[in-house]
Amino acid sequence: MNANGLVLLIEDNEANIMLARAVLERDGFDVEVATNAAEAREWLIRVVPDLILMDIQLGGDDGIALTTEFKSHPSTSGIPIVAVTAHAMAGDRARAIHAGCDGYVSKPLDTRSFGSQMRAILTGARTRHDEVTG
């Protein structure tokens, strides 16, 4: 595994998957993809990622509800989740944060800063975890 960690990208748009994966891998992350809620749940049974990128507008699924589900389950509650959405409307950020997201990114992704943004979220999550357990 890369030093930056393992990211589970939950996204149903192929172009968005390709872009996010390319940027994250360029910046030293390992990336796995789930294209729907069922795939994400199955994947999380086997492996616990360092970070989840959650498409809020999943086809047929609600990324907010899935975030709430993951944050309420003991085995996934500590994984930082970043909401990623093309529908950056008033209130979306607040809904995502209220559901348990640790960050919020609007599409299209800024390819110059996306990797460093994710690294900063992971660093903050690890620091909070160390403060709680240390």
Domains and CATH numbers, the chain: 1-56 (3.40.50.2300)
pLDDT in tens, 71-129: 999 999 999 999 988 766 667 778 888 889 988 888 888 888 888 889 888 887 554 43
pLDDT of residue 90: 66
Contact criterion met (CB below 8 Å) for 70 and 101: no
pLDDT in tens, 47-76: 999 999 999 888 777 899 999 999 999 999
Quote the CA–CA distance of 65 and 58 in Å, as a whole number.
11
Q: How far is CA 81 from CA 54, 96, 134, in A?
A: 7, 10, 22
> DSSP of 10-37, one letter per residue?
E---HHHHHHHHHHHHHTT-EEEEESSH
Beta-carbon contacts of 59 under 8 Å, excluding residues fewer than 6 positions away, are: 12, 36
